[in-house]
Structure 1
Amino acid sequence: MRIWGMLTAIAAAAMLSGCVTESSYKQAQEIVRGSPAMKRDAINECYRGASRASPARKAQMAKIMNVSPRSNVARTYCTRAFNGIASGRISYEDFRIRSPRFIRVIQGR
């Protein structure tokens, strides 16, 4: 399914900084904005990728996000990122360059 592929690409890119076009980003943004079930699926797909990060990378992410390294860093990252994408707080440009706005959103601010 093409839509699932886009969400998977966005989810993977959210963690791995892959290549996503602005058009596919906006399309996926509308999907997760309008469908709570698709947003959950995207978060879960992101989590599957993010949970494979090295312990050192997870510790670094925990510091950036102001959470305990013992917390579920991958789940928190993916949830905050996709909530920010769905709400429009994270634009394509923010996502692409990991702007200060992107950082604020994943920090829960």
Structure 2
Amino acid sequence: MRLLSIVALASASLFITGCVTETSYNRAQEIVRGSPAAKRDGVNKCYAGARRASPARKAEMAKIMNVSPRRDVARIYCQRAFNGIASGRITYSDFRTKSPRFIRVIQGR
């Protein structure tokens, strides 16, 4: 259980702060790829931080993600990002630079 909480904390900090090395990104990626519970916990921790974004930021993200601003933009962002990372569609470089590939994944394409 302690490992799960460490993974969740690392995963949440990965997506909330963006301050992560490629090694720790790859480690977190492998963990969420192999553990649905760790991925679920990471999404929940990401959501806890992302939902505190300002209404203006959420509206901006809704436009980028092609979703209605009335939807739970923070939850959708976290789910799509974690799914993309776990599947390998989002690389460390994509995440750091918010590349076109990253944008496509959070748009659900």
The normalised TM-score by structure 2 is 0.91
2:15 — aligned with what?
A: 14
Q: Distance in 2 between matches of 1:61 and 1:12?
A: 19
Query: AA paired with 1:103?
Result: I
Q: CA separation of 1:78/1:5 partners in 2, compared to 1, >3 Å: closer, same or farther?
A: same
Local SS of the residue matching 1:43: helix
Unaligned runs of at least 5 residues, structure 2: none
1:95 — aligned with what?
A: 95
* Cα deviation, residue 58, structure 1: 0.3
Query: AA paired with 2:9?
Result: T
Structure 1 residue ranges (4+ consecutive) displaced by more than 6 angstroms after TM superposition: none
* Cα deviation, residue 3, structure 1: 6.1
> What is the aligned-residue identity percentage?
70
For the aligned residue pairs, the C-alpha RMSD in angstroms reads: 1.5
The normalised TM-score by structure 1 is 0.91
Q: Distance in 1 between matches of 2:98 and 2:15?
A: 10
Unaligned runs of at least 5 residues, structure 1: none
Q: Distance in 1 between matches of 2:93 and 2:19?
A: 12
Which segment drifts farther, 58-67 or 5-14? Answer: 5-14
Query: What is the CA deviation profile of residues 28-69 of structure 1, one whole-angstrom value per residue up to 9, with x for unaligned ones?
Result: 000000000000000000000000000000000000000000
Query: AA paired with 2:13?
Result: A
